[in-house]
Amino acid sequence: MRPRGHNEPVTDFSPHLNSASPERFPVVVVGAGPAGLTVGNILRAARVDCLVLETETREFIEARPRAGFIEEWAVRGLQARGLAGRLLERAPTHTECEFRVGGEAHRFGYTKLTGHRHFVYPQPLLVTDLVREYADVRGGAIRFGVRDVRLHGIGTDQPSVSYVCPGTGERRVVRCAFVAGCDGARGVTRTLLPPERTSRHDYGIGWLALLAEAPPSSDCVVFGIHGRGFAAHMARSPEVTRYYLECPPGDDPENWPHERVWAELHERLAASGARPLTEGRLIEKRVLDMHNYVVQPLVRGRLFLAGDAAHLTAPIAAKGMNLALHDAFLLGDGLVARLTKGDDSGLSGYSEASLRRVWQYQEFSLWLSDVFHGASSGDAFRAGTTLARLRRVLSLPSAAASFADLYIGKNTDY
């Protein structure tokens, strides 16, 4: 058989399910989060076969609460790929946010400056839509509950992925042409890249992440900048609201009983004329130690990292899921071009194109973190300078325009 040229379409991967011999798929996607499922859907829409491997059950990933705000460019990217039907039907949109500081509330309308909105669509709903579309509509292969995923030969043009089958305990091998590493911050694929490729930033602060069974108490995201610590309010649904409270890193959620949580939220989010917060049962309470990392470049051989596997952005600026979708669009389109037309340009430019937006968002996250946490830093100089920054955004049209662009992620591919 004639050896295949580097850029020729890969066409000889018809899957077969005989467990005695290795299966073959052009692409194995490790991880069924927003990144992996979007890549899988893009491949299936182009009739490229792929296998998604996921350690958790379908029920678990469809219920895991995390993100809630999707930027308009990302929604349009999903829509262009036939993945936003239910989102566009059901998601309310936000056009403003509010800063509360010194007992005063300051509205900031970013949509009137950019034309772009946020769509409020909790991550479990998006994941549910993406799984259904991938597995039930587009007929994509997916294995839930797999154990001990390992990658082999990713420096060669015949890599493979193996995993332990949950039912039989048997190790199964899948040969492929490409591996998409979409297994999040605690996955296995990033460990295949040399550790010196990962740069990190630790904010040295914690956030108590809360979900309250309570309707939102404002029609927009509220950021409370307060000497006792930062606090935030974000709608998730008419019945559920996400709140954050700054706390020491590594704090124990048990240190935060119901009464203490609500007392701190009332105090840190107080502003004259503001609606009082509606309290409710706390259905999630976990401490996030705020840190970021970036792997650079995102590719090793036939392994392409995407989403949180490639870069983590603490939820300070609500960017992680948006970046995961950005990667998935680039990677999915690049894989389709390579596998169906032999066009390698998308894959060869993938890392650089992804990282351009990643670094803008990382920088914005650092900037915003200073604004959020300056007042509670115990350093009067930092408190003064970070408040000056906020006043600039709230008063100066050029500063407001630049902030709005980054906040909603418009024009950040420079």
Ligand X SMILES: Cc1cc2nc3c(=O)[nH]c(=O)nc-3n(C[C@H](O)[C@H](O)[C@H](O)COP(=O)(O)OP(=O)(O)OC[C@H]3O[C@@H](n4cnc5c(N)ncnc54)[C@H](O)[C@@H]3O)c2cc1C
Binding letters toward ligand X, positions 332-371, x by CB under 6 A = ----------------------------------------
The reply on whether position 324 binds ligand X by CB under 6 A is: yes
Is residue 28 within the footprint of ligand X (CB under 6 A)?
A: no
Q: Which residues contact 20 (CB under 8 A, 6 or more apart)?
A: none
Binding mask 39-68 for ligand X (x = CB under 6 A): --------------xxxx----x----xxx
Stretch that binds ligand X, among 181-189, 218-226, 258-266, 270-278 (CB under 6 A): 181-189
Q: Does 319 bind ligand X (CB under 6 A)?
A: yes
Tell me which residue of 251, 214, 212, 188 sits closest to 53, measured CA to CA: 188
| Residue 185: burial class (beta carbons within 10 Å; 0-12, 13-18, 19+) | middle
Told to check if 320 binds ligand X by CB under 6 A, we report yes
The distance of closest approach from Cβ of residue 125 to ligand X in the complex, given in angstroms and rounded to an integer, is 13
**Phi, psi angles (nearest 5°) of residue 357:** -70, -40
CB of 228 to ligand X, least distance (A): 21
Q: Least separation, in Å, of the C-beta of 152 and ligand X? A: 14
Contacts with ligand X, 106-145, as mask; x by CB under 6 A: -----------------x----------------------
Q: What angle do CA 102, 236, 225 make, to 5 degrees?
A: 15
Smallest gap from residue 190 Cβ to ligand X (A): 10
Asked if 37 contacts 329 with a C-beta cutoff of 8 angstroms, the reply is no
Peptide linkage before 297 cis (omega within 30 of 0): yes
User: What is the distance between the terminal CA atoms of the chain, rounded to a whole angstrom?
Assistant: 45
Smaller CB distance to ligand X: residue 2 or 200?
200
33 is a site residue for ligand X (CB under 6 A): yes
Closest approach of Cβ 146 to ligand X, in Å? 6
**Among positions 10, 29, 32, 101, the unique one binding ligand X when judged by CB under 6 A:** 32
Q: By CB under 6 A, what part of segment 293-312 binds ligand X?
A: 307-309
Q: Which residues bind ligand X (CB under 6 A)?
A: 30-36, 53-56, 61, 66-69, 123, 149, 182-184, 186-188, 209, 307-309, 315, 318-322, 324
